[in-house]
Structures are given as structure tokens and as C-alpha cells.
Structure 1
Amino acid sequence: MTSYIKIKNHINGQWLDETNGQYEPLKNPSTGAVIGEVPLSSVETSRAAVAAAADAFPAWSATPLPKRMDYIFKMQQAMKDNLEMLAESIAVDQAKHIAEARGEVGRVIEILQMACTIPALIQGETVQGIANNINGRLIKAPLGVFCGVAPFNFPALVFGWFIPFAIGTGNTFVYKPSTESPLFMQKMMQLLVDIGLPDGVVNIVHGDREAVEAWYDDDNVAGVCLVGSTPTAKAIAEGCGRHGKKTMLLGGAKNFAAVMEDAPMDLMIENILMSGYGSAGQRCLAISNIAVVPEIYDEFIERLLEASRTVKVGDAMDPDAFMGPVISAKAKARVENYIEIGQKEGATLLLDGRNPDVADANKDGYFVGPTIFTDVTPCMQIAREEIFGPVLSIMKVGCINGALRAIKNHEMGNGAVIFTQNSFYTEKFINEADVGMVGVNVGICAPHPYLPFGGIKGSLVGNNKVQGKDAVDFFTQNKVATVRVVDPKAGQQAPAAAGDSNVRSCVAS
């Protein structure tokens, strides 16, 4: 892990240097040190990866389903056997704290368990007796080559959302990791090679926007997947829409927590710390806005401030640290700029996370500590825009309706949670919170892999969500067959009964 890392593309079973594009430095956010380089691949390289996937598709889609599932089982076992190595790869270039990195890899293992149920989810349907001796059949068929774009913050999780379901249903894949956190996929791709996955079924290409835009007019590409910002999701939707390609595009978020007067205080504070400061706030499921009723407002702020001050910021590999750095110097500057904006807007900066105390070895890292604003209103910029850092904005609302109104009026709709022991509040919040994922007495949490993951409104471009049955539906097409059964001994079909219009309609075209 400490040696210089040269990230490579992987196309048609071969690890390849980029010959037509450029390279940019790869840094460890915990120290700011350059630890390697990552290619910005050319359009030609991106198209070559698609061509390799297209060449592999006929044989892979014809591979019997049990054989494809064998690879998913082997993939899961390989991740179990190499969990620590994969987690360390995330902690090195993405700087997610090692404990959280282990949790991310563990969740992908659970997703793979769910992906092993593809044979049950891919079953079609049959309608008998549409007409005399005519039956109808629906099968779920693969489409071809899919391409995926991953964000920096969850390099393993997004791999799990896309690739197992795509290849398990018979498609092939081209994957573009983030240039800021490519190391996990280097390690994971080698594991796919080691389990014997056929060449070209999964390909990796690194790069920026040009590598993605090359997919839009490529006739070999059936669809594109993304987890990223809403503007990027809209750009991909537009590019793919012009050429009739399927898309599964998860965008940004601004998640709410509603704190009621009967909230379980200890449990709530623990969950807010994990959800608000975990991954340094760099996740689409981070708590960001907290709506608190007057009865508990002062006590909540006192308890949250006390707990936030105990959060240790440090190196992602430090087992005693709670929170690592943000991903880059640019990200650090962006978060600090939002802190300035909040002050200018009139919010009270109760806890300032700029310039946190870290070890000397980490002085050049990209650290922002826990930050708390109070006296926030829903119209403020810090309450409306995704900061993507460990910044909490607290607003006072009169009752549950005030919290629900703030959630409904926000343009994003990813997740929201309520802390309460009141069953009326619970059911009202579940039914009325205008988001895609709701929680009760938990942090903003990812649904279990059996269930779909995704928001609504500005947090989801289109209507396709990831994981579970939704993923199987996205990566397949409904193909319908109309079958007339002919008795080979009779030599020909008996004449249709008079008035049997169904026969004529079935065979009219």
C-alpha cells in the first residue's frame, strides 16, 4: 500500500497503461501526499472498453444462469477472504475511516448475497390459452453493454449496486471509478480475474467527462448508470436520452432529521453523530438539516454540542479517530466556504470545524471538524444546498407539521428520519415525508439490499433505483413470445373455430 500506485485500465482481460490520454496525481487525503497517478483516458480508450464488452456479450449472455451465479458466489467469497485488504484500499485514497471502510465492504458482501437470488427474480411469466393452441410467454432478457460512473465517496458500494446485477442478468459492463478513489476497483478487478471471470465481461476505464460522453452515441451501449451529483445526472440523462439509452441516475441529497419532544435522547445523539459526521459528511445519506420542536430545542443543542466536541478527527487509519478528512483540498475549501456563507446569512456558528486539531503527520491533510449552525431557516443557502461535509444546520419548528413542510418544500428528496416514541408521529412521518427513504429512530440509513435504494424529486433523475428487484428490472428487458402449438402427427393445425377473433389478432402481424 505504501509503494507508488500507478492506476491502470482493465480492458478485455488486460491491465493497460493509458497511451492516448494524460495522468493526474493520486493523493492520500489524510496527509495530502501524492501516492500515485491515475489516467484520464481518451475517448478512444473508452470506446475500446465498450467494444471489448460488446464482443464478450454473446458468449456471456448464453452462459447458463447457474454458471453466472457461480461467479457471483465466488465474488462474494473473494470479498470475504480479502475484506481487510479491500477496506484498506478505501482508507488510503478515499480516506474513509478504516472502521467505516470495513462496514462498506461488509455491506457489499450483503448485496452480493441478495444478487444470488437473481434466478428467482429473473423468472418470466406464461399465459396459457390466449387462443386455441396459442400461449403467451414473457421472458426477462439481457440487453447488452451497460456503463457505470461511480462517485469518490463509496467506491465499493456503487460497484455492488451496479456490476453484480448487470452481469448476473447476462449483460457485460464498463465501469468508470472516480479518479479520486480508484484503488478499491483495482483490487476488486484483480479478484474478478482471480475467480476466472471471462475476459471482457467487466472492464475498467478511468477518466473524466470525455470518457463518459463517448458512450452516448455508441450503438453498443444499452444504458448508463450513475451515482453522483444532480447536475451530472441531468447531463447524462440528456446525452443518453438523445440516443434512446436506459439510465439509472442517483443525484444529490439534503437529508432532514425531525426531533420531537419525546425523542430518545441518548440513542438520537449517537445516531446523529454517526450519520452527520461519518465519512466526514461526504455521503448522500448524511444528516444535514435538523428540525427540532421547541420543547426539546435547548436540551438537544446542549447535548449535541457536548457530544460533537468529543469527536476525534484524524488519519483514516487511526483506530482511535472517529472521523477522517474530506476528499481533497478543493472539497475542504468548498466546505469552509459554506461555513462563511452560513455566518453571512445570519446563522449562529455554534461549533466551528475549521482548522481542527490533528497530528503533525496530518497537518497537510484535508480536515474539517464537526460544525454546527443554529438559528437556521429553510431559505438559507446552507439549508438548501448540499455541502457534502460535516456541517449540521439546526432549525426550530413549531411541531411535526413544520418539519414535514420544510421537507416537502426542499427540492431534494433523498432521505429523512424522525426521532420519537409516539406511534402517531411515526405513522404520520412515514406517510407524509416527501422523500424516497424514511427512517424512525435511526440515522439516515441505506435500506437493506433486499429493498430498493433511491430518493425522489431532485435526488433521482428518472425513476430507476438501485439494488434489489429494481436492479434486476433495470438490467433486463421484457421480451414477449406468442407460441402456437402444432401437433406434429396431425401435420397441420386444425381450423379455428368460427368467431375465434383471438387467433386472428394474435397472428395478424
Structure 2
Amino acid sequence: MHFGKLKDYINGQWVSHTDAEYLKVYNPSTGEEICEVPITPTNQVEAAISAAEEAFKTWKNVSMEKRVKYLFDLRDALVQRHEELAQSIAIDQAKHISDARAEVNRAIQITETACGIPLMMTGNKFAINEDVDGEVIRESIGVVGALAPFNFPALVFGWFIPYAIGCGNTIVYKASEQSPLFMQKIMEIFEEIKLPKGVVNLVNGTKPVVEAMLNSPIIKAMAFVGSTPVGRIVAEGSAQTGKRSQVLAGAKNTLIVAEDANMDGFIQNYINSAYGAAGQRCMAGSIVAAVEDVYDEVKERMIKASKEVKIGDARDEDVFLGPVISQKSVDRCHYYIDLALKEGANLALDGRNPTLPEKNKNGYFVGPTIVSEVTPDMKIAVDEIFGPVVSLMKFKNVDEALEFFNNSDFGNGGSIFTESGLYAHKFLREANSGMIGVNVGVPASMPYLPFGGTRSSLFGSQIKAQGQDAVDFFTKRKACTVRFYGKN
């Protein structure tokens, strides 16, 4: 299946380019070319920004009722095209189809929450004294830019576009060049629901497109999800041009296993956390920190359960673990495994050459991998790998494991597995991370709670995604003081 040369969507029109460079996109499950995606020329990025600027002049004055009606129509279309959207993710991002369906479900839930923007947009008004009133008014901020990662095309769309336009802004959205198909279908939906032209504009590409957006004085805010190195560039570039920014960056999440943990519950959560979406989640559990009393049992159970994980094509229903996004990602996983062994760790389970179905021989696969006896000074315990590679570490007690967790450069998420209320309370109070859980492998926030980390996992405005935080990011507030004297 080949989708040909993809197009941008600018000012309500599909745009193809005769002068653009095109990148080949491959199905990670098979290595087959599936489409070509443009690096949108700078003049066309500027055209998209100008279209959004022109559309904002009228869109900001569209009634809240009408704006939210478009969100309801968007939600209905997402439900109607659910399977088609999930299949698009399973093709170019090669997220296993069950995970892809779950991601589309979450995008629907986020859009449903965004339909409640009128409640979240309400201001505050009070009587200062008998003659003077005080009032806070929320307003849209203008044209916003958004940069999406490859690993969650539907989720990040939900974080940015429904909230941005629901709050009265217009948007220029750059899809990931590695997984562009989902956003092509979303723009078809916006055509179907007759969203006014220029309100949402889609561009594609790499660094030159990002630079054009960062350098534009018209764009007033940038929203980003991706790696920490690129996130720093976006946050710094936004600051230099006076933009507000929301930058959700990298992660290195830890699952602490206390001596009283329910081991069956831990293993079930571990498999989903470490190997779901091939470990390419910002909420993936990439470190298991077990206290020494249960370390050997944890290791044995992890190995046994991981060996039972079925690997193969992302669209095969009976497969659990699909491929990583590219050969570069495979090489990165191998590099950290080899480096850990050189630094003194042991390879408890080697996933570097997994057994694959014949049709997937040219795909980009790494099997479940467990590197044991990892110590805090090793690179594999520090760096984000983004694949199904797990570090197993031993600590004397929960206090020592929590200290390690809090010393990480990252602060996106983490969990403790325990039946002790004391341990749970201690973790919830002391864990220095944006999203934490007890007996939960993936402590990702529900759509009505803020999503985002701390430290090197969040830059810019420090305002997170979803719910009230999203409304706070996509609006500006004015404080008003009002007095009327009446007739003399």
C-alpha cells in the first residue's frame, strides 16, 4: 500500500509542491515505503501562518457556542472514523493496533473534555467596594504553532488543536515526518465539518519548518512534544522571539518495587508499561528499581513474562510488541545495551535479534530486553532510550530507590508497587515528578487532569497539557477595574 506524495493543508486548500524536497516514509513493521512527505518550503510555511493570521481576525469573534459546536462535530467524526484512524497509526507509526485504537479513544476523550471549554473559560468578577467592580476576562492569544512527535499523533493532536481553536485561536500544525498519515485524515475531517478556512493549517517537514515557525513574529505561542534536546531549542527559540511555549520533553521513568508488592499485579503492569507501544512512550517504565529483599524474584518473573511477549507486525491482532520507528532507533537500543555491558551490567534477556515472521524480516524490531545489575552511574540508567529496553536495579530499601528516582534529570512519571499505605504516602509526598502512581504501570493523567512533567521533562511556560491547564496556555487574561459614577 502506497499513499503517494502527501500534501499540506493551507487556508482550506490541499497544497502540493513542485519545488519541495520529499522524504520517504516507511512502514516500520515491514520496511516497505508507504508514502513521501514534503519538507514544506519556507514560503509555504509563511503562507500557512498568514492564512492563520487572517482567519484569526474573524475566528476570535465567533461565539463560544459555535466554536464548541465544531468540537462536537469533530468528536463525532473521530468516533465514526475510529478504526480508519487507528489503522493509519498502525501503518506509519507501527504502534500495535490495540494501542493505536486506545490512542484514538484517548483523543476522543480529550476532545470531549475540550467541549467543556465554556466552563473552563469563565472569568472572575467581584465587588471591590460599593462603586468599583473587579473582573478577569479570558481572551484568545492569536496564531499558535504546534510541533507533534512521531509516537502519539492522535493524542498530541487532541492536546493541541481542539483546545487551541476552542479558545478562539488559529493554528499552524506540523505533523511528524515519520508518522504523517493520521493528520492527513484529520484535515479531511475538518473539511467535512466545514471548519472555516485558515483556522487549522497543516505543514510537514523537519528543522527548516520548525525554524520558520519559531522565527515568525506572527506566531504568539508554540506547543511542542518531543525529545529534551529539541525541546530546549523550541523553548529557547520561543523566548528569543517573545512567544509563550509549552514544551513537553523527554523522560526516564522508574517503577519502584517494594518488598510487600503484589508480584502478579506488578508483572502485569510491567509488561504493559515497558513493552506497550514498543517502549516508545514518554510514560514507559524504563527502569525497575527493586528492593534487595525481592530483587531475585522480580528478576526471575520479569524474564519469564518478557519471554512470553509475542513480537510481530503492528497490525496483527495476536501480537503484543511491534517495531520501533526506524533503523536508527534499533541502532540506538543496541548501542545502549552494548555500552551497559561494557560498563559492567549483565544481559538478563537479549532482544537484539528477535525471531520474526517472514513478512517482517526487513522491519525495525527490538525484542524485550532486560539489562540487570545496572548501577546509577551507568548511561543506560540516565539517558532516554525510547525502546523496549529495561534497566533492572537493586536498592537496599524504598528510601534509597526513591532517592535515585528523585536524582534523575527527568521528571515525567513513575510509580511504586506496594501494599503499604506508609510507602504509598511517602512516595506520593516525596516523589519529584509530574505524574506519579501507586500500583500503576503507566500513571498517565486522565484527560481532565494536567499532563506533564518536571525538571528536564517540561520547559517553557510550565503550563501542562489537557483540561484547565490547556485553557490556561491557550488564553490570556485581562484584569479589569470598572467604576461608573452615574448622573451628576
In the alignment, what sits opposite 2:474? 475
Report the counterpart of residue 94 of structure 1 in structure 2: 93
Kindly report which structure 2 residues correspond to 1:287-298, keeping only aligned pairs within 5 A, or say none: 287-298=285-296
1:480 is displaced (CA, Å) by: 2.5
Partner of 1:504: none
For 1:64, give the aligned amino acid.
Answer: S
| 8 Å Cα contact 2:2-2:33 kept in structure 1 | no
Equivalents in 2 of 1:300, 1:354: separation in Å? 22
Larger radius of gyration: 1
Q: Decide which of 252, 264, 269 is 1:271's aligned counterpart.
A: 269
Q: Which position in structure 2 is the counterpart of 1:70?
A: 69
Tell me the CA shift for residue 136 of structure 1.
2.3
8 A contact 1:166–1:172 mirrored in 2: yes
1:347-377 deviations in whole A, cap 9, x for unaligned? 1001110111111111000000000011000
Number of the residue aligned with 2:302: 304
How big is the shift at 1:408? 1.3
- Between the aligned partners of 1:42 and 1:206, the Cα distance in structure 2 is 9
C-alpha contact (below 8 Å) 2:275/2:321 kept by paired residues = yes
Aligned pairs (5 A) from 1:112-261: 112-130=111-129, 133-261=131-259
Determine the C-alpha separation between the residues in 2 that align with 1:46 and 1:445.
37
Tell me which residue corresponds to 1:329.
327
Q: CA deviation at 1:83?
A: 0.5
Q: Distance in 1 between matches of 2:482 and 2:261?
A: 60
Deviations 1:311-370 (A, max 9, x none): 011000011110100001111111111111111111100111011111111100000000
Q: Which of 182-191 and 40-49 deviates more?
A: 40-49
Distance 1:235 1:271 in 2: 34
**In 1: Cα distance, 2:433 partner to 2:19 partner:** 44
1:15 aligned partner: 14
Paired residue type of 1:278:
G
The residue type equivalent to 1:107 in the other structure is R
**Secondary structure of 2:471's aligned partner:** helix
Counterpart for residue 53 of structure 1: 52
Hey, what's the Cα distance between the residues in 2 that align with 1:129 and 1:317? 62
TM-score, normalised on structure 2?
A: 0.98
Query: Is 2:401 the partner of 1:384?
Result: no
Name 1:29's counterpart in structure 2: 28
Aligned residue in 1 for 2:318 = 320
Q: Map 1:457-496 onto structure 2 (within 5 A).
A: 457-462=455-460, 463-487=462-486, 490=487, 492=488
The alpha-carbon deviation at position 219 of structure 1 amounts to 2.1
Letter aligned with residue 367 of structure 1: F
The answer to whether the 8 A contact 1:255-1:444 is kept is no
Alignment coverage as a number of residue pairs: 487
1:352-431 correspondence runs (5 A)? 352-431=350-429
Which deviations, in whole Å up to 9, do the C-alpha atoms of 1:225-259 show, x marking residues without a partner? 10001111111111111111000001100000000
Distance 1:13 1:446 in 2: 34
Q: How far apart in 2 are the matches of 1:114 and 1:403?
A: 36
Provide the C-alpha distance between the structure 1 equivalents of 2:388 and 2:361, rounded to a whole number of angstroms: 18
1:31 counterpart letter in structure 2: T
CA contact (8 A) 2:414 2:443 kept: no
Separation in structure 2 between the aligned mates of residue 480 and residue 430 of structure 1, nearest angstrom:
36
- 3-state secondary structure, aligned to 1:5: coil
Aligned to 1:455: 453
Q: Secondary structure at the match of 1:385?
A: coil
C-alpha deviation, 1:486, in angstroms: 4.4
Which segment drifts farther, 420-429 or 328-337?
328-337
Structure 2 spans left out of the alignment, 5+ residues: none
- Distance in 1, matches of 2:405 and 2:293, equals 20
* SS of structure 2 residue aligned to 1:375: strand
8 Å CA contact 1:98–1:319 kept in 2: the answer is: yes
Instruction: Decide whether the 8 Å contact of 1:20 with 1:41 is kept in 2.
Output: no
Q: Structure 2 CA distance, aligned partners of 1:205 and 1:12?
A: 11
Give the counterpart letter for 1:374 in structure 2: S
CA deviations 1:193-231 (Å, max 9, x no partner) are: 101111111000001111111122322111001000111
CA–CA distance in 1 between the matches of 2:123 and 2:440? 37
Q: Distance in 2 between matches of 1:307 and 1:129?
A: 64
Give the 4+ runs in structure 1 shifted more than 3 A: none
CA distance in 2, matches of 1:271, 1:129: 53
TM-score by length of 1: 0.94
For the Cα contact (< 8 Å) 2:248–2:458, is it kept in 1?
A: yes
Between the aligned partners of 1:305 and 1:346, the Cα distance in structure 2 is: 19
Amino acid of the structure 1 residue aligned with 2:463: N
**Aligned equivalents of 2:256, 2:3: Cα separation in 1:** 46
For the aligned residue pairs, the C-alpha RMSD in angstroms reads: 1.0
The one-letter amino acid of 2:422's match is: F
Gaps in structure 1 of 5+ consecutive residues: 493-509
Q: Whole-Å Cα distance in 2 between the matches of residues 231 and 25 of structure 1?
A: 24
Classify the secondary structure of the residue corresponding to 2:281.
Answer: coil
My pick for the range that moved more, 178-187 or 43-52, is 43-52
Q: Is the 8 A contact 1:372 1:393 kept in 2?
A: yes
Deviation at 1:483, TM superposition (A): 2.4
Partner AA of 2:474 in structure 1: F
1:377 partner amino acid: T
Deviation for aligned residue 1:482: 2.7
Q: Within 2, Cα distance between the matches of 1:179 and 1:15?
A: 17
CA distance in 2, matches of 1:210, 1:87: 29
Alpha-carbon distance, 1:21 to partner: 2.2
SS in 2 for 1:23: strand
Q: Secondary structure at the match of 2:254?
A: strand
Identity among equivalent positions (%) equals 50
Q: How far apart in 2 are the matches of 1:357 and 1:439?
A: 34
Q: Is the 8 A contact 2:49 2:172 kept in 1?
A: yes
2:68 maps to a residue whose letter is M
